[in-house]
Amino acid sequence: MSTSAAEFLARAALPVLQRLPPETAHGLGLRGLRAMRRLWRAPPIHANLATRLCGLPFAHPLGLAAGFDKNGEYLDALGALGFSHIEVGTVTPRPQSGNPRPRLFRLPHIDALLNRMGFNNKGADYVAARLRRSSYRGIRGVSIGKNADTPLERAADDYVECLRKLYAVADYFAINVSSPNTRRLRELQAPDALADILQPLQRERETLERTHGKRVPLFVKISPDLDGEGFRDLCATMRQQRVDGVIATNTTLGSQTLRAMARDLGSGGFSGAPLAPGATGIVLELRREMGDEFPIIATGGIMDSENALARLRAGANLLQVYTGFVYRGPALITEILAALPPVAD
């Protein structure tokens, strides 16, 4: 099947899926991609788009954000679309069902989603087994978090356990301390709380590096809702703890206007177009605060090639899509890859 024929099928399926409840549509869409994965032909990737970050080789800057494939069950199917990297999870040590349904909502009039999923996943052991069986050759990120019933003062234990169980199958880890959908999780972005997580993770990584013969980078995924002082404190902590990079940003709790639009849907984090201006601004501020060499992965509101290029101009090294992919499907990948400038030597 040619890429154009496959894209035609994907475009035809999108309006049907978008008539279904969002979480149902998500599952059906993933199963459809898996059924077609051997027929799909990814868009051509030019060699001059290749880049390295933290010693890892990326075929190009565009990847898929965490949350789309929570359990690593569709890595090969999603990889066939042409993503240079895919971040699975967020994974917790033990399986958990997440928040009650419905917990995912579309706001199509503003190209946004609202979710309060709550780290629903099948647990670190299951995800590790799935990744071992995958043949995807791109970069595999794993987003890790704490179980909802783990007290905040013991959160570090959960992150370390995930690191230990998934280290052999991960190319990098995203330390998720910024989801708004696990109670009090964002408190872990405070300087002392974040240091209390990063220090044992760094110690455990030293042991695992000797055992597995590889050093897996640690990225911190941050909130777009930090105030100025909180943002500067977070940057200072990341410098002090020598984290390998940052992922900016997670979903937003939104402005009063945005929350009013979704009042009937309840609580959760917004993603998509409303997040784009703030997320771009945070990338700019991160680059100023952290310096020219600090690795930044940009995500949040990348809905088209213009958004993607704006994030790169702001200082991002890599990009990740989620909500734009939900609304536009594989056509978004083709558009962004065609617009990306060559990577400078």
Per the residue annotation, which of 84, 178, 179, 271 is the catalytic one?
179
26: Cα separation from own chain's centroid: 16
Task: State the average pLDDT over residues 235-262.
Answer: 95
Domain locations in the chain as residue ranges: 3-339
255 in catalytic set: no
Mean pLDDT value of segment 116-131: 98
Nearest Cα neighbor of 108 from 267, 255, 328, 260 is: 328
**Token pair listed for 103:** 């917990």
Question: What's the predicted TM-score (pTM) here?
Answer: 0.95
Question: Quick check: 298 pLDDT over 90?
Answer: yes
Q: Which CATH superfamily is domain 3-339 in?
A: Aldolase class I (3.20.20.70)
Q: Greatest CA span in the chain, whole angstroms?
A: 54
Give the residue-averaged pLDDT of 329-335: 93
Q: What residues contact 269, with CB distance under 8 A and at least 6 apart?
A: 114, 115, 116, 179, 180, 181, 250, 251, 252, 253
For 47-88, what is each residue's pLDDT tens digit? 899 999 999 999 999 999 999 999 999 999 999 999 999 999
